[in-house]
Amino acid sequence: MNTATNLNELAANRCFGGWQKRFSHTSSVLNCEMTFSVYVPPDAANGTTVPVVYWLSGLTCTDENFVSKAGAQRIASELGIMLVIPDTSPRGDDVPDADDEAYDLGLGAGFYINATQAPWAKHYRMYDYIVDELPNVIQQHFNVHDKAAIAGHSMGGHGALMIALSNVKRFSSVSAFSPIVNPMDCPWGQKAFSHYLGDDKSEWQQYDSCELMREQGKFLQIPMLIDQGLADDFYTTQKLAKPLEDVALATSYPAEFRYHGGYDHSYFFISSFIEDHLRFHAKHLAEYV
């Protein structure tokens, strides 16, 4: 039996007939106090059971970036979807950070994996937090369906894709903007994985979407939508999106990849296409609701 988790409501704002809320709670998985945001659509506020889309944000972000910049609440209200937006890493005075205050390691850069190396292993277990602890908290405190969808941006796109490919029966669909898809072979991923997981690259494979799709894509599949801006400064340097499309083509994986001229890595890109992503998830969530 799951122990009930107490929530501390930090903010509540009326929004498109529903509520944009922010909470904190003590995480037993991450051994620290965590914050997350929730958009509660009007249907949920009135007691109806609703589906959930989890959104995972990218490097340097907190749960507040998506809330204030993506413009997702209007369409979530229309579709009757709850949005759950966790932080990107553990936080707190006792939580280790990069010695050089680098933006791509430590606070704000949890990479949604379970660290095994000191000093990270005690707190940096974002995989377990996203897959198990946070959904249990949401189930305890909100009237939601068991089946959910998951989406994310950049590092969060990596997290969404990797978690969905590892838990295909847990999610109805997955989508991503500008995702890190092959962290074993890009600078951001190699830096994070070597610190969090050590030098044995066989330990990295379980968190690499290209490896996961290559290994199981012909047998275990989940509906997938990926958008990539072609003016993204990181598209080539971090090998975003395209390596996974290559694997999808090789394995006949039915994922949709869309490339957009002129769009960069920012939330201007996300806000331009977030409606497409939420409608994509609503379509697949409807099969279970």
Which phi and psi angles does 109 have, rounded to 5°?
A: -140, 55
Residue 264 dihedral angles phi and psi, to the nearest 5°? -105, -155
How many CA atoms lie less than 13 Å away from 62 in the CB half-sphere?
Answer: 11
Q: Are strands 171-177 and 255-260 parallel, antiparallel or unpaired?
A: unpaired
* Residue 135 contacts residue 122 (beta carbons within 8 Å): no
Q: Is the peptide bond before 119 cis (omega within 30 degrees of 0)?
A: yes
From the list 254, 263, 202, the residue with the least C-alpha distance to 235 is 263
Q: Which of 16, 84, 80, 75 is nearest to 53 (CA)?
A: 84
Q: Is the Cβ–Cβ distance between 244 and 253 less than 8 Å?
A: no
Phi, psi at 244, each rounded to 5°: -75, -35
3 alpha-carbon distance from chain centroid: 24
Q: Give catalytic residues, as residue numbers.
A: 154, 232, 265
Residue 216's SS3 state is helix
Tokens of 179: 């995702």
Q: CA-CA distances (angstroms) from residue 272 to 72, 228, 266, 284?
A: 10, 12, 10, 21
CA distance 233 to 141: 40
Give me the residues paired with residue 26 across strands: 33
